[in-house]
Amino acid sequence: MIQNPILRGFCPDPSIIRVNNDYYIATSTFEWWPGVRLWHSRDLKHWEQLPSPLRRQSQLNMIGNPVNGGIWAPCLSYCDGRFYLVYTDVKTQKRPYYNTHNYLVWSDNITGEWSDPVYLNSTGFDPSLFHAKNGKKYIINMRNGFKGILLQEYDPEKQKLVGPVFNIFPGTDLGYTEGPHLYEHNGWYYLITAEGGTSYNHCVTVARSKNLTGPYEVDPANPILTSMDTPDAYLQRAGHADLVETQNGEWYMVHLCGRPLQEMRACILGRETAIQKMEWTEDGWIRPVDGRVPARSVAEPAGIPDYPLPTEPERDDFSSVELPVWYSTLRAYPEGCLSLTERPGWLRLRGQDSITSLHHVSLVARRQTASSCTVETGMEFHADVPEQVAGLAYIYNNENFYMLLQTTNEAGKPMLTFLKSDRNVITETDSPIALVTPGMLRIRLEVNGKDAQFFYACGKEDWKPAFEPFDCSILSDEHCPGFTGAQFALYCHDMTGSRKNADFDYFSVQQRTH
């Protein structure tokens, strides 16, 4: 059986394709760099992360992007030997006009270099590229203000949208119609959308038409997937789906989901990706074989053997000379301020802006993928003034985080301080801990559900608690509020402008499944 979620921790808005016997999923990354996470599988059960397609500033410049801005809902497609990716770079979500700019990039090698982007439009987010059987290509996207689904032809020669714009689907009374994808099957056009909003009323809506521009009739059993009526279901917030047919003619649907804490509706892991097995009904509708409530375990595809793939390791000793794919940074790669070669076997961060900046922050993050974790790092850092800090962050975004940081007091003595930011209100301990033993500082973070606590040890000393336990449920979609998820990060800032370095010997994230 396939165990859901298949992609855990901050992996929302999945788009899936199959190319021969290989499956690929693209998921949203928001203000985190590089843009769009890509995943690969051969059996829909085991997934490995691939290099992101948007890894050049010429493809994506998110400097200054707001929290929750950046890459929303990518859509991956494949046609005639070429991979296509459409995505939104959200500059503002301010009604009524937003600033949701849609782009297209392509590549003939999904792990190679992708093109620079072609601008499409800014009428709404969640663009999807539909390759019609008649050889024409169309872009559909939601219309800002949830005013339906727009469709316009895309001319690959002219590299732009051409012809009239059609509003092909008004949505249902579930509202918040977004995340559209089109398919041709047995003479019908099928339109899948997300409705109900990306929280606990989220769902998957299916409609069909004999004409591409509609009108579309809605499945009488709509919505075909939702957890809205089953608050005790393991997978909540099910919606934003995409279909794929296996090489043996079976159908599956990936969708986003959330796994809130037992005691409260808080998704610290953000929205994740799950998969359901599908079947076509006699009267030509497609529905989950396990029913409307998303199943936690799903039958594997027939005729496809298990194909295990490498996954993110618990411990990283920084032996690689390039930053592995499972790391993210904020809004851009910290050029000149992140090195794995200046001190071989160590990750060196040079301090830039402080965490609340929307510009140049030296921070390297790994996603939290389980509700119970042990995180640890070893750091060598010597602050000259209090304006230089470095340490371990437990972060949702620039406005919501906890950090255990080494710095110095006015007398130049090394200290440990503790910061909390809750919806952009930052508080700092008034009782910093003096560090008496020089040498490497080891920092540990224990997380169990909504409870967390930092620990520290200097040199070979034993572990000691660093400040009081804290409530990490504030690092959740519901509290912030947000679209991403909690991450563990190495961090350094230097307000003197001298780019003081902090060297990290290892970064261990032990995630216990649940």
Contact, 407 vs 388, CB < 8 A? yes
For residues 178 and 503, which CB has a smaller minimum distance to ligand 6LW in the complex? 178
Q: Is 13 a catalytic residue?
A: yes
Closest CA to 481 of 419, 397, 421: 397
Look at phi and psi of residue 439 and say left if phi exceeds 0, alpha if psi is from -120 to 50, else beta: left
Q: What residues from 154 to 193 belong to the interface with ligand 6LW (CB under 6 A)? A: 178-179
The tokens for 147 are 């005013």
Residue nearer to ligand 6LW on the CB measure, 128 or 407: 128
The residues in 128-147 that bind ligand 6LW, with binding defined as CB under 6 A, are: none
CB of 72 to ligand 6LW, least distance (A): 4
Kindly state the smallest distance separating residue 274's Cβ from ligand 6LW, in Å: 13
Cβ(149)–Cβ(158) below 8 Å: no
Task: Confirm or reject binding of residue 199 to ligand 6LW (CB under 6 A).
Answer: no
User: Got the DSSP string for 95-161?
Assistant: TTT-EEEEEEEEESSTTSPPPPPEE---S-S--EEEE-TTS-EEEEEEPTTT--EEEEEEETTTTEE
**Residue nearest ligand 6LW, Cβ-based:** 198
225-244 binders of ligand 6LW (CB under 6 A): 239-240
Instruction: For the segment 477-496, give every residue that binds ligand 6LW (CB under 6 A).
Output: 483
222 near ligand 6LW, rule: CB under 6 A: no
Stretch (H or E) spanning 59: none
To ligand 6LW, the closest distance from the beta carbon of 53 in angstroms equals 17
Q: Is the Cβ–Cβ distance between 191 and 172 less than 8 Å?
A: no
Sole binder of ligand 6LW in the list 5, 7, 9, 13 (CB under 6 A)? 13
Whose Cβ is closer to ligand 6LW: residue 73's or residue 192's? Answer: 73
Q: Encoding tokens for residue 23?
A: 């499956």
Q: If we measure between CA atoms, which residue out of 472, 315, 492 comes closest to residue 396?
A: 472
| Interaction of residue 125 with ligand 6LW, rule CB under 6 A | yes
Q: Would you call 296 helix, strand, or coil by DSSP?
A: coil
Least Å distance between CB 7 and ligand 6LW? 14
Binding-site size, ligand 6LW (CB under 6 A): 15
Per CB under 6 A, the list member of 73, 85, 139, 435 interacting with ligand 6LW is 73
Beta bridge partners of 257: 272
- Give 252 or 483: the residue with its C-beta nearer to ligand 6LW: 483
Is 239 or 288 the residue whose CB approaches ligand 6LW more closely?
Answer: 239
Strand-pairing partners, residue 218, are 207
Measured between alpha carbons, how far is 47 from 125 in angstroms, rounded to an integer? 27
Of 500, 487, 512, nearest in space to 402 by CA: 487
Measured from the CB atom, is 13 or 316 closer to ligand 6LW?
A: 13
- Work out how close the CB of 126 gets to ligand 6LW at its nearest, in angstroms, rounded to a whole number: 5
Q: Where are the beta strands (DSSP E) in 429-500?
A: 433-434, 441-448, 451-458, 464-471, 487-494
Please give the distance of CA 439 from its chain centroid, rounded to a whole number: 36
198 binds ligand 6LW (CB under 6 A): yes
Residues in the chain: 514
Indicate the SS3 state at residue 322.
Answer: coil
Active site residue 80: no
Binding residue (CB under 6 A) for ligand 6LW from 28, 362, 397, 406: 28
User: From the candidates 153, 178, 316, 503, which is the catalytic residue?
Assistant: 178
Taking CB under 6 A as the rule, does residue 219 contact ligand 6LW?
Answer: no
Q: Toward ligand 6LW, which CB reaches closer, 94 or 460? A: 94
User: Residue 180 or residue 301: which is nearer to ligand 6LW going by CB?
Assistant: 180
Under a CB-based contact definition with an 8 Å cutoff, are residues 420 and 429 in contact?
Answer: no
Q: Does 12 interact with ligand 6LW (rule: CB under 6 A)? A: yes
What counts of helices (H) and strands (E) characterise the chain? 0, 40
At 70, the amino acid letter reads G
Map the footprint of ligand 6LW across residues 33-72, applying CB under 6 A.
72
Question: Among residue numbers 249 through 288, which ones bind ligand 6LW (CB under 6 A)?
Answer: 256
Shortest Å, Cβ 253 to ligand 6LW: 15
Q: Which residues bind ligand 6LW (CB under 6 A)?
A: 12-13, 28, 72-73, 125-126, 178-179, 194, 198, 239-240, 256, 483
Positions marked catalytic: 13, 178
